[in-house]
Chains A and B, each alone.
Chain A
């Protein structure tokens, strides 16, 4: 799913604030809630690069209005560093009203905390 240029209308940036570094090699997945509001379907999976970014999360065509969630495998990330953590994973659920507007959803996290915000 990762491409050289990031034309995805949705981007993320994952930062390990505990160590003050980008979170590299973290598994990330994007899901959309189906219109009947019953099940989540997988849109894409990826892994963050050395900058903590994950290009190519979704295409413009696939990024339709609706409810989405990005899941960050934070527990696996800390485990690969030999550390335990409080949150086995982080899921950020959000609503897309205007898919023409670029959305940036960063995740700043440590072993015992995280924060996210919406930027365009």
Chain B
């Protein structure tokens, strides 16, 4: 059985993995969804991290880390209280993900940098990923 199928099925059997460092927060105002377009499946257990930039110094600070679940989602990225206007980035460990599937990948990681102007509006940042391409857009 191919490695990616084992990972996909095992995540249905195991209890839902909400990530090592994340509490099960009610509903994060920011969400993501990672899809492996090369294989036509959700990207399961891809490591990701959320960062926020300090406007005065330009330095990034780490807000949260996690792993995508069986659906390629990562609940509880951030709390409503923490979701303030500013510039964020989500970093996806794409090379490690493909390595776990026994493949190489053109992109060692993918960082999507985005601006939040209205923190009361839910923001969905999906990533559609293959070994040699990716795309992202503002979803709902």
Contacts and interface: CB of A to CB of B under 8 A. Distances in A.
A58 B127 CA distance: 29
Interface residues of B, number: 21
Contacts of A83: none
Interface residues of A, number: 21
B47 to A, nearest CB: 15
Nearest to A92: B107
A67 B106 CA distance: 10
Contact of B106 (A84, A86, A94): A94
Contacts, number: 55
A89 interface: yes
Contact of B135 (A84, A85, A91, A115): A115
A41 interface: no
Given A115-B135, A116-B135, A118-B132, A86 B114 contact: yes
B133 A94 contact: no
B108 interface: yes
Nearest to A120: B132
Interface in A72-113: 75, 84-95, 112-113
Interface of B: 87, 95, 106-115, 117, 128, 132-138
Interface of A: 67, 75, 84-95, 112-118
